[in-house]
Chains A and B, each alone.
Chain A
Amino acid sequence: MGVTCVSQMPVAEGKSVQQTVEILTRKLELLGAEKQGTFCVDCETYHTAASTMGNQGQAGKLMYVMHNSEYPLSCFALFENGPCLIADANFDILMVKLKGFFQNAKANKIESRGTRYQYCDFLVKVGTVTMGPSARGISVEVEYCPCVVANDCWNLLMEFMQSFMGNHTPGIPSVFGNKHDSIYSPADSMVQYMELFNKIRKQQQVPVAGMR
């Protein structure tokens, strides 16, 4: 696993989500990227149940349980700003048993699905982010596989993203900031997806022009 940057691509003016995805993938194919199947990242939200909260009346913390088709045998459980747990895939069954402590906010389930592309040593995943039945936005994940230290290859990653995202190239992800020269891990990617999903959920409340 290399270093990954997850970002959101805004929907092009006057276009649908689907059309914007097509424009993006066509650019990638022109660049010489090759299609390599599909991918999916999903995220479920859990509230800490009322019974477990102390009588201080503080708001419950949110926990996110996520899956990534790149790691089909694993399940990721994250708190916002908190630790990230990487468990076996049957962690989901455990969550069902823990119903009394964590309640699944089913309506909040969000996922990104799309095509996986390879270009040289880069992996690019362009996905449509959906919540319930409707498309909410576009995620772009770019991984530079040979490198393991995020800050070593940020400039290189950015130059690559500029080649097909133009002026929508994102800034340096916040998870890079506190990594110094430690090794980038799959959990860092999941944190980025969690942050992206949270951002898109909030956008949902204000309908954006151009989205259907």
Chain B
Amino acid sequence: MADGVLSPGVNLEAFSQAIAAIQALRSSVTRAFDCLKDGMRHRETLEGREKGFVSAFQDSLHSVSRDLGELERLSNLVGKPSENHPLHNSGLLSLDPVQDKTPLYSQLLQAYKWSNKLQYHAGLASGLLNQQSLKRSANQMGVSAKRRPKAQPTTLVLPPQYVDDVINRIDRMFPEMSIQLSRPNGTSAMLLVTLGKVLKVIVVMRSLFIDRTIVKGYNENVYTEDGKLDIWSKSNYQVFQKVTDHATTALLHYQLPQMPDVVVRSFMTWLRSYIKLFQAPCQRCGKFLQDGLPPTWRDFRTLEAFHDTCRQ
């Protein structure tokens, strides 16, 4: 049965010869290395020893190159398997006689359909999003619309100077909030946001896109031993661990792919409402504490304070 499939494109005679050639090549390579490993054999004179070794090694290298040449010749004769099947070699899976036990082929087809569909929808979505694009990114859209691999999200390719400007503007917008920008790891910016005497936030950015954020107490250390911003360890206080969770949720909420600066500004505006973290009672139950925690949630729209469990 396998013959029937392979034969149109494959020369079976050459195939078996090629396998033999591979075996020959392997044994000659082994011999070459054996020769190297054994080194110089006992001879009367040093000169004789060197000569004997060099010639033996030369011989074994020659046979390696001869066998390699033979294998190359045969591999041209073997020919290519048929490419008639739309799924190429994976199409051979359909010939598996135990279809019931290994339904690989039908799963593969299903996955193929899905991936086609996904590509189609992604294309439509990209078209829709591009209609709302800003001027500064319009150029790039025109050029690279056809060339898929080049079409990176625009937010990832903004110049650092532009990022600096946006952050500076936000810094000036809120007097009780100070933002320190640094670039310890190349072009990606890291922000240390200090909000009054309440909390500090480490914001890791990729271009103008906020990647990660960690909230810590005002009196907590935000640097590692070597003086870099510590972007991994969490706060020692439960209240700031909770706020960190909410801030991460906020990053997912404030999304506007074509206007990253608006996203950063909205996020910072939301963050600023934590200036009253310890002073604002919950807008639903009217209390300060619930399970030992103050209202750690801030509504995305109204910025009102709620306990985690008191929000809708």
Contact = CB atoms under 8 A, between A and B. Distances in A.
Give the size category of A's interface with B.
Answer: 20 to 34
Interface string B64-89: 00000000000000000000000000
A198 to B, nearest CB: 29
B292 A121 contact: yes
A156 interface: yes
Nearest to B218: A148
B237 interface: yes
A159 B293 contact: no
Interface stretch (B19-27, B133-141, B283-291): B283-291
B294 A148 contact: no
Given A120-B238, A121-B238, A148-B197, A153 B278 contact: yes
A160 interface: yes
Contacts of B281: 155
Given A120-B293, A121-B292, A159-B289, A153 B239 contact: no
Contacts of A2: 219
Contact of A148 (B219, B287, B288): B219
A39 interface: no
A23 interface: no
A144 B279 CA distance: 13
Interface string A50-76: 000000000000000000000000000
Interface string A173-204: 00000000101000000000000000000000
A156 B197 contact: no
Interface string A1-26: 11000000000000000000000000
A32 B238 CA distance: 15
A121 B288 contact: no
A163 B289 CA distance: 10
Contact of A146 (B237, B287, B291): B237
A174 to B, nearest CB: 21
Given A121-B239, A146-B237, A146-B239, A152 B278 contact: yes
Contact of A156 (B217, B237, B288): B288
B173 interface: no
B283 to A, nearest CB: 15
Contacts of A149: 197-198
Most buried by A among B198, B292, B294: B292
Contacts of B217: 145-146, 148
Interface of B: 197-198, 217-219, 237-240, 278-279, 281, 287-289, 291-294
Which 8 interchain pairs have the tightest Cβ spacing? Answer: A120-B292, A153-B278, A146-B237, A156-B288, A152-B278, A159-B288, A146-B217, A121-B237
